[in-house]
């Protein structure tokens, strides 16, 4: 297989004595050696997201000697991140994630150049940002950005080292349209909004992103150094055309073979996508004009209504294990999956307030009831029970 990465000219590039000492364990591997380490030094890798997956990616690529690491993220470090996002620490709470990650990278390897992009990756800036890198490692946690990264990589001819996690399960692959399938070949369409909860709603085992992120880092390194030793009897085998599935709870790995879809709209024989599109609309996240709007109520407004004694139905859409963390007083428990078949338990003459952890699943519950023809007035508790704990009853934990 040809080089997956069109690496930069290495003419005149040498390793210093300091670099030889730092990377000596790489140099002893014939599959890496001096040539491979020089390739790592010349490489430019962009990591999209500095969370659970981006954390081990950045740490191990920095330690390996990747010369330039780009970081894209617009988020800030929160306490709930620290269970798995090991690039950040308690003292970084409230800081931009790219700033915290940059400091940690430089503390591990001051020889690495770090470029931070403290912005949300979108259709307007993705091509401008990605075009300066040899490889992109996708550490995102949402479908709209995954499709955006995939399409930008296909248009630019860049390998996309993919990883995703949920609860106890992870996936990894290398999507490189020049040599194999892309992300759209595997997932032509995104799932309906709300079908797959995010990690903030569904949870994730803390070590899982560390394992999957390390697999991604391994794939990045292999793409960079492959064929650096032409006579090697142990050539690199990137995850191009293969999907690695990992279950941390069962400690099992499986592998699926992926085929390039000849009808893929961006990498197929007759592509129909030639530029980046509106990915929120593609993933069904934009409000449809025909949809009835969902009214919201703040935690303080709900408290005032409860204190006034006016009749109100409070519906907790969370699952039992979440209610064990923190409950909501006098709420009727109807998990999201039971909403429609228990529609007769609602009183259309009384306003209903729906709640969950952060106010996302409760919106889907209201939408389902609207589509089922429920005529009562419904409100979504804005920002969920976490807002109630923050604004009304600080004795309660936020999770």
Residue 115 phi, psi dihedral angles, 5° rounding: -115, 120
| pLDDT the model gives residue 272 | 95
| pLDDT the model gives residue 2 | 43
| pLDDT the model gives residue 332 | 95
Residues contacting 22, CB < 8 A, separation 6+:
65, 109, 111
Q: Could you identify the residue written with the tokens 């999957």?
A: 212
Q: Are 40 and 53 in contact (CB under 8 A)?
A: no
Q: Would residue 97 be called left, alpha or beta, if left means φ above 0 and alpha means ψ between -120 and 50 degrees?
A: alpha
Catalytic residue among 153, 264, 283, 356: 356
Is 356 a known active-site residue?
yes
| pLDDT the model gives residue 217 | 98
List the chain residues with pLDDT less than 70. 1-8, 230-233, 287-291
pTM, two decimal places: 0.84
C-alpha closest to that of 192 among 283, 286, 292, 317: 283
Q: Could you identify the residue written with the tokens 């204190």?
A: 307
Q: Are 187 and 236 in contact (CB under 8 A)?
A: no
List pLDDT tens digits, range 67-81.
Answer: 999 999 999 999 999
Catalytic residue among 199, 214, 267, 283: 199
Is 199 a known active-site residue?
yes
> How far apart are alpha carbons 395 and 105 in whole angstroms?
37
Q: Report all structural domains of the chain as residue ranges with CATH numbers, in order of start.
A: 17-282 (3.40.50.720), 295-391 (3.40.250.10)
Q: What is the DSSP string of 189-240?
A: SPPPTTSS--HHHH-B-TTHHHHHHHHHHHHHHHHHHTTSSTT-SS-----B
């Amino acid at each position: 297989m040809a080089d997956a990465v069109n690496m930069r000219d290495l003419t005149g590039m040498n390793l210093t004595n300091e670099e030889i000492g730092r990377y000596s364990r790489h140099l002893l591997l014939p599959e890496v050696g001096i040539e491979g380490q020089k390739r790592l030094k010349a490489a430019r890798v962009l990591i999209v997201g500095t969370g659970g997956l981006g954390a081990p990616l950045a740490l191990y690529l920095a330690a390996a000697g990747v010369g330039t690491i780009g970081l894209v993220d617009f988020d800030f470090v929160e306490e709930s991140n620290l269970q798995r996002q090991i690039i950040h620490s308690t003292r970084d709470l409230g800081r931009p994630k790219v700033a915290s990650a940059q400091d940690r990278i430089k503390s591990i390897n001051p020889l690495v150049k770090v470029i931070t992009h403290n912005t949300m990756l979108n259709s307007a800036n993705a091509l401008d940002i990605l075009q300066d890198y040899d490889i992109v490692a996708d550490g995102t946690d949402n479908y709209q950005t995954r499709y955006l990264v995939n399409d930008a990589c296909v248009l630019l001819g860049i390998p996309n080292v993919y990883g995703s996690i949920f609860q106890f399960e992870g996936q990894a692959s290398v999507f490189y349209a020049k040599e194999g399938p892309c992300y759209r070949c595997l997932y032509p369409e995104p799932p309906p909004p709300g079908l797959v909860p995010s990690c903030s709603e569904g949870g994730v085992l803390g070590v899982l992103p560390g394992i999957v992120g390390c697999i991604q880092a391994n794939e990045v390194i292999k793409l960079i150094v492959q064929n650096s030793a032409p006579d090697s009897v142990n050539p690199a085998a990137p995850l191009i055309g293969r999907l690695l599935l990992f279950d941390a709870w069962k400690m099992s790995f499986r592998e699926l073979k992926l085929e390039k879809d000849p009808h893929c709209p961006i990498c197929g024989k007759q592509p129909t996508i030639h530029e980046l599109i509106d990915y929120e609309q593609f993933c069904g996240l934009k409000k449809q004009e025909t949809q009835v709007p969902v009214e919201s109520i703040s935690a303080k407004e709900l408290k005032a209504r409860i204190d006034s004694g006016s009749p109100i139905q409070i519906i907790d859409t969370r699952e039992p294990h979440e209610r064990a963390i923190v409950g909501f007083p006098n709420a009727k428990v109807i998990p999201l999956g039971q909403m429609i078949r228990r529609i007769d338990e609602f009183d259309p003459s009384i306003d209903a307030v729906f709640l969950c952890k952060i106010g996302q699943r409760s919106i889907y519950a209201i939408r389902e009831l609207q589509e089922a023809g429920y005529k009562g007035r419904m409100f979504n508790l804005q920002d969920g029970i976490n807002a109630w704990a923050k604004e009304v009853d600080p004795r309660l934990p936020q999770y």
